[in-house]
A = this chain, B = another copy of it.
Amino acid sequence: MDTLDNTLRPPVSQHLSQRPAQRSGEPDVALREHATPVRARRRQRLALDHAPTESVYVVRSGLLGVEAAAPGKPRQLLELYYPGDIIRRSLVPDLPGLTLTALNVTEVWRLPARSFDTLIASTPEQMAQAQRRLSEQHARSTLHASIIGALSGDERFASLLVELGLRLGTPGVAGLSFDVPLSRTDIADYLALNPDTLSRITSRFKARGLLQHARTGHTVLPQWDALLAATPVSATLTALHGPH
């Protein structure tokens, strides 16, 4: 089942709105001219080659993720990519079973790594913006490691809900709502949890009134403040995923 592509919705509130792929102006017109627009459906894989044929993807809409699966280990969702993010092989470790997958209906710009590097280097603004974005992605990666390493299952799930709420949520009468672009398995693999355990956690959250969701994947977070209180890293998440 395809879930809706939330990233195309216009922002609704100032504090809990989605952001456009690029914040300030459009310094990526040069990229647009040299890049190939690629549309990917849910579960579609994108090539993640090494240096000679390395591609750079710039996310335009939707959600992607890099997966790994060591033999004998459950699949892992290592990183999530939102609109504006930069994806390339050299940023990702050489793990067994590494794939770049669209979790959603997505649109990306693809261009050869060489072209990307020279284009980016052509103007200082583009360079600065790309570096800022890459720094942000690095920080998010570290934050994710921190969440996986230090928090309990409930706290991890609350952290993900906060992240998705900040990224995709639109305020409504019943609370912040959005369509979850991830399947149950995706979420479990992202949070380093067993799907069964995750199911217990979601049941607990629903019982506590922190979460309502229809089977279509549409989710409502009725108590945003309580959700923020349910994870020790809510401030960090807001800084990295909230509006700038």
Q: Which of B71, B121, B145, B151 is the one whose CB lies under 8 Å from A124?
A: B121
Of the stretches A5-13, A19-27, A132-140, A169-177, the one at the interface is: A132-140
The DSSP consensus for interface residues of chain A is helix
| Oligomer copy total | 2
Q: A151 to B143, alpha carbons, bound, how many Å?
A: 18
Give the residues in chain B near A117, CB-CB below 8 Å. 128, 131
Given contacts A70-B233, A232-B73, contact A143 B96 (CB under 8 A): no
> A148 interface residue, CB < 8 Å from B?
yes
> A226 interface residue, CB < 8 Å from B?
no
Q: Which of B93, B94, B131, B139 is the one whose CB lies under 8 Å from A93?
A: B139
Q: A128 to B128, alpha carbons, bound, how many Å?
A: 14
Q: Are A146 and B233 in contact, with the CB atoms below 8 A?
A: no
Residues of A bordering B, CB below 8 Å: 66, 68, 70-74, 76, 78-79, 88, 90-96, 117, 121, 124, 127-128, 131-132, 134-146, 148-151, 192, 232-233, 235-236, 239-240
